Amino acid sequence: MRFALKQHSVLPGFGITLGYTLLYLSLIVLIPLAALMARSASMPIGQFWDTVTDPRVLAAYRLTFGASLIGAAINAVFGFIVAWSLVRYRFPGRKLLDSLVDLPFALPTAVSGIALTAIFAKTGWLGQYLYPLGIESAFSPLGVTIALTFIGLPLVVRTLQPALEELDAEVEEAAASLGANRWQTFWRIIVPTVLPALITGFALAFARALGEYGSVVFISGNKPLQTEIASLMIIMKLDQYDYAEATAIAVVMLLASFAILLSINVFQWWVGQGRLQRAA
């Protein structure tokens, strides 16, 4: 008779660590989200629908998702340039520039909002030159986009840096020796290699922007139907002790954010599978 031998992990304590992981995630993530869904489910369906389709709320959704998407896309482009410069080049002040990338993380969000407002307002350092050109850089959707771009940059840069550091320079040299020019090497060698990290950074910046409040509330001006974001609408409902409607707005944000992030992750997986098939 043959007996199957029980396979043991090389690292001990799998059961305990998994149990603590599930317990921690349940307390921090799953239980609060379940309470949010349960609170919104207690509302009559008619009231829920009226709340989430209110013109003012819909305008906040459009601005929040639109500005977050634009900000994440901008960070994907310029964050790549910043990460490339920090990884590939050595220049005076490089470490200082590298530390400045984390500044949006270090500053309280309210301080970031006040600073951006002071810079881009009509009498600000940059706003005084933009407003005469007809560019309303503060108290407008553009101001919201600027704030969301500011807080999302570190996520893209810090996600791309390890991928760029692992990129072997010999691969680029081999491509050059085979006759590829710089643009061909960039698009066919570098971009496909770092694309998963770039998509991850984009998703993180997008998700971070969706829930931002402090850095946006000052520079947006909070004009009804124009510059109100979804987080502000939730805060307003909470200030009115209307917890049911606040959770209804939050649930829509949660579901939409989950759907978008899931789509990005599926696309990232699809890109990875394509690379594996080409390698095989």
**Structural tokens at position 31:** 């239980």
Q: Which of 267, 208, 194 is nearest to 64 (CA)?
A: 208
Is pLDDT at 203 greater than 90 in this prediction? no
Tokens standing for 32?
Answer: 């609060």
pTM: 0.84
Between 24 and 10, the more confident residue is 24
CA distance 142 to 131: 12
Distances (CA, A) of 26 to 20, 32, 59: 10, 8, 33
**Does the pLDDT of residue 76 top 90, yes or no?**
yes
**How would DSSP label each residue in 44-101?**
-HHHHHHHHT-HHHHHHHHHHHHHHHHHHHHHHHHHHHHHHHHHH---TTHHHHHHHT
* Cβ atoms within 10 Å of 102's Cβ, excluding its own: 13
In this predicted model, what pLDDT tens digit does every residue of 234-259 receive, in sequence order? 999 888 888 888 899 999 888 888 88
Which structural domains are found in the chain, ordered by start? 49-275 (1.10.3720.10)
Grade residue 156 by pLDDT with cuts at 50, 70 and 90: very high
At residue 3, the pLDDT reads 47
| 71 pLDDT above the threshold of 60 | yes
Dihedral sign, CA of 109, 219, 231, 229?
Answer: negative
Q: Greater confidence, 195 or 77?
A: 77
The whole-angstrom distance between residue 200's C-alpha and the CA centroid of its chain comes to 9
Q: Residue 9 — pLDDT band, cuts 50, 70, 90?
A: low
